[in-house]
Structures are given as C-alpha cells and as structure tokens.
C-alpha cells in the first residue's frame, strides 16, 4: 500500500541543464516525426503523473566503462583512483559484447523503448563497434540514438561513420573555452584536436545530406570555469546547434565511504523523474535505476540472466518508485545522499 502525502509530489524533469539553441536546433525539433514528439511529451508527462510504460522511454547502455581521459571531477576517475568498490567489488572494466548488445536492443524494441544513450561511465568512442551498434539500433527502429563523448577520437573518419550509421544526437563534453583550463580538467586530452574535431562536424553533416546528428557542446560548471560560459558560447555557437552547461555533481562526497558520505536535508515532496524515464545497463549486464548510482548500491537486476521487461517492473524497482511516490525518497540510502532533489530546490528559488 502506498501512503500518499496530502501535498502533491513534484517531479522535476531535466532541471539541472541550461542551454542555448540555435535556429537549426529549434527547427530540428519541429521537424521530428510524431513518434519522436510523443516520446518527448511522455518524457515530461509520465514522471509527473507516475505513468509507467512497459519499458523505459530511454535505455542507457554502457558500451564500455573504459576511458582515454582522467577528468578529476568524473565519478569514474574517483572510483579508479581511490579504489572504491562497485557492487561490492573492485570495478571491472571492459567492452560490451556485440551479440549481447543486439539482444538488449531487440528486447528494448519489444518493450517500447524509444531512445538509447550508448554511454554511462566511460568513453563510447573507445568501442570499435560503436558505428555498427548505432546502425543496429536505428535499423530496429529506435527513434533517438545518442552519445556523450569527450570528442578526442571523433576525427573525420569516425565522425563520418557515426553520421552514416544514423546517430541522432552527438553531445560533446568540453569544459572550458581556454586551453590551459580545459587541459587541466580534461586530463589526457588535446584542446586543439578536440576543437578541430567539433568544428568539422557541421560540414560533414552537410556533406552527408542528413540533418542528423543534432550537435551539442556542454560544460560542467565548476569553480574552475564558473565565469567562462559567455566565452564558451562564443567559441562554439557557430559550430554546433546547442551550447549548454550542467550542474556539477559532487562525486567525491557522493562516493565517499560509508557514513562519511554527505547526508542531505530531506527536500519536501520530491520524486525522481528518472524512475519513470530511464534504466541503465552496464557493459557486463548489471542494471541500475539512475545515473547517480555510481557505486551500484541499488542493482535491480542482471540483464545476462533476466529479461529487461521483468527487471523494469520487479519488486526492487517497484519499491523505490513507491518510496518516491509517497514522498519518502529519503528512505532509500542512495537517494538520501543524492543531490538531484537539491537541484529542484534551486529551481524554485
Ligand atoms: C561520465 S561522462 C561519459 C561520456 C564521455 N566520456 C564524456 O566525457 O562526455 C558523461 C557526462 O558526465 C559529465 N560529468 C562528469 N563528471 C561530472 C560531475 N562531477 N558532475 C556532473 N557531470 C559530470 C561529463 O562532462 C559528461 O558530459
Ligand atoms: S572523458 Fe568522460 S568518462 Fe572519461 S573521465 Fe572524462 S568525464 Fe569521465
Ligand atoms: S539516487 Fe535517487 S534521487 Fe538520485 S538520481 Fe537516483 S533515483 Fe533519483
């Protein structure tokens, strides 16, 4: 039985993202199919009304958790540098097996998944089959296939492969308009190379005759780059469709050991949209409910042993949704230390 509170639970959607879109991006959205628009409508409406589909709207598939960079703010870097256990053991790194990936996509299509994002912790362009995986998802009818990338490997050859495969959204992470600051945040990267890769995309897309992928460059706003967004927009606005910044999530605190972790004040009447929108599958099949469960403390299933549609509605998943619906998200340990509810508070001020 759910004990609903008297006050309406608020379910903020994408509240920590701030973006400037150019005309191309505005028209791009308008030109999408009715299916796409329906999926975007559900993305906003389903969590607000706690509507649960047969499967998630978006499946995040971590094609690899390997990475060519060591960005200090990234949870992956912290996990590795500090040897923090994940799902109770040392983090295993690797690449998704293509046959397993195909099975996941087939199941996703059967349960009505509309979008797949091909990364979580790691750099998707390190997977040798990335373009083939994108093509497979597109051929099976996934409406929105997207990746986040640090962009270092997205040279002309790879970019052409991704465009040809039908990638819908190419989202670059690039944390400062200034070389020195950038290379101090994106450790192991090369400012000039990535800028050149990003600047090439528009003409390659034009050459292909396609209007996909939609492109975005975003920075995570931190103390090192807090006053740089204006210059950031100037640097990229002619080259990509969207320039954006997102809130920094303090992973060191979130990942800290045991009870030394930050205990946050409970925010009244919050429920997390991700529980009705997304599901995450790691390269080796572990399933978690959200982007914030970095240490995989709330694993809801194993895609190597169970069907995704069964995991989506199983007891453990239902339990976390119920706690959120009754205004009691704080009773779930990972949610009690998560900063997602606080982003909502900031929005209201
Ligand atoms: C973990 S990365 C994986 C994909 C790819 N390697 C990349 O850098 O885009 C996904 C996104 O998380 C962002 N990110 C990394 N650390 C973060 C933090 N502490 N808070 C918020 N976002 C963060 C990155 O900038 C990137 O846009
Ligand atoms: S490139 Fe992406 S995954 Fe790799 S360390 Fe940086 S933010 Fe993390
Ligand atoms: S930890 Fe809880 S509140 Fe935070 S993103 Fe995950 S489900 Fe949402």
Mutate to test the pocket of ligand 2, among 64, 70, 74 (most ligand atoms within 8 A of CB): 74
User: What is the residue-wise DSSP string for 202-250?
Assistant: HHHHHHHT----EEEEEEEE-TTTTT-HHHHHHHHTTTSSEEEEEEPP-
Q: Is 335 in the pocket of ligand 3 (CB under 6 A)?
A: yes
Residue nearest to atom 26 of ligand 1 (CA): 173
Residue among 110, 172, 176, 183 at smallest CA distance from 146: 172
- β-pair type (17-21, 58-61): unpaired
Q: Is 69 in the pocket of ligand 2 (CB under 6 A)?
A: yes
As a whole number of angstroms, the distance between CA 2 and CA 322 comes to: 6
Laid out side by side, the sheet with 278-281 consists of 17-21, 242-247, 214-221, 169-173, 144-149, 115-117, 58-61, 278-281, 286-288, 299-302
Q: What is the pLDDT of residues 33-85, one digit of tens each?
A: 999 999 999 999 999 999 999 999 999 999 999 999 999 999 999 999 988 99
Q: What is the pLDDT of residues 118-162, one digit of tens each?
A: 999 999 999 999 999 999 999 999 999 999 999 999 999 999 999
As a whole number of angstroms, the distance between CA 2 and CA 331 comes to: 14
Where b means 16+ CB within 10 Å and e means fewer, 33-43 reads eeebeebbebb
Mutate to test the pocket of ligand 1, among 74, 124, 146, 198 (most ligand atoms within 8 A of CB): 74
Ligand 2 centroid to residue 210 C-alpha, Å: 29
CA 116 vs CA 125, 133, 147, 207: distances in Å: 15, 11, 9, 26
3-class secondary structure, 326? coil
Which tokens sit at 64? 């690899």
Residue nearest to atom 5 of ligand 1 (CA): 149
Mind listing the pLDDT tens digit of every residue in the chain (349 residues)? 455 555 677 777 765 568 889 999 999 999 999 999 999 999 999 999 999 999 999 999 999 999 999 999 999 999 999 889 998 899 999 999 999 999 999 999 999 999 999 999 999 999 999 999 999 999 999 999 999 999 999 999 999 999 999 999 999 999 999 999 999 999 999 999 999 999 999 999 999 999 999 999 999 998 889 899 999 999 999 999 999 998 888 765 667 654 355 666 777 789 999 999 999 999 999 999 999 999 999 999 999 999 999 999 999 999 999 999 999 999 999 998 888 887 655 554 3
Which tokens sit at 24? 């191309």
Closest ligand to residue 246's CA: 1
Q: Which residue has the tokens 């709330």?
A: 298
Alpha carbons within 13 angstroms on the beta-carbon side of residue 159 total 27
Mutate to test the pocket of ligand 1, among 220, 244, 247, 250 (most ligand atoms within 8 A of CB): 220
pTM (global) more than 0.85: yes
Q: How many Cβ atoms from other residues are within 10 Å of residue 6's Cβ? A: 6
DSSP code for 61: E
**3-state secondary structure string across 89-113:** ECCCCCECCHHHHHHHHHHHHHCCC
Residue nearest to atom 6 of ligand 2 (CA): 71
Which tokens sit at 220? 């995570």
């Amino acid at each position: 039985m759910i004990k609903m509170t008297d006050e309406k639970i608020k379910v903020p959607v994408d509240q920590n993202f701030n973006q400037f879109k150019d005309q191309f991006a505005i028209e791009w959205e308008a030109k999408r199919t009715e299916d796409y628009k329906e999926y975007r409508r559900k993305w906003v409406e389903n969590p607000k009304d706690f509507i649960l589909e047969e499967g998630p709207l978006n499946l995040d598939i971590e094609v690899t958790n390997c990475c060519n960079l060591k960005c200090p703010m990234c949870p992956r870097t912290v996990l590795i540098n500090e040897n923090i256990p994940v799902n109770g053991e040392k983090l295993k790194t690797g690449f998704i097996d293509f046959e397993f990936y195909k099975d996941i996509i087939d199941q996703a299509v059967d349960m009505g998944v509309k979008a797949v994002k091909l990364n979580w912790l790691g750099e998707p362009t390190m997977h040798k089959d990335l373009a083939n995986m994108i093509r497979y998802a597109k051929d099976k009818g996934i409406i929105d296939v997207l990746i986040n990338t640090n962009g270092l490997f997205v040279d002309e050859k790879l970019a052409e492969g991704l465009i040809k495969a039908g990638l819908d959204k190419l989202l670059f992470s690039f944390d400062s308009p200034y070389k020195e600051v950038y290379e101090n945040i994106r450790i192991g990267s090369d400012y000039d190379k990535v800028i050149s890769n990003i600047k090439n995309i528009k003409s390659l897309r034009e050459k292909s005759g396609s209007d996909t992928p939609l492109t975005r460059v975003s920075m995570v706003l931190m103390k090192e780059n807090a006053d740089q967004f204006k210059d950031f927009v100037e640097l990229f606005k002619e080259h990509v469709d969207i320039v954006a910044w997102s809130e920094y999530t303090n992973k060191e605190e979130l990942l800290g050991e045991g009870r030394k972790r930050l205990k946050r004040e409970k925010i009244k009447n919050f429920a997390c949209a991700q529980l009705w929108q997304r599901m995450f599958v790691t390269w080796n099949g572990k399933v978690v409910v959200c982007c914030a469960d970095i240490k995989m403390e709330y694993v809801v299933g194993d895609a190597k042993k169970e069907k995704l549609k069964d995991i989506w509605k199983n007891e453990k998943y239902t339990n976390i949704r119920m706690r959120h619906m009754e205004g009691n998200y704080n009773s779930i340990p990972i949610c009690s230390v998560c900063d997602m509810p606080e982003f909502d508070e900031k929005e209201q001020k």
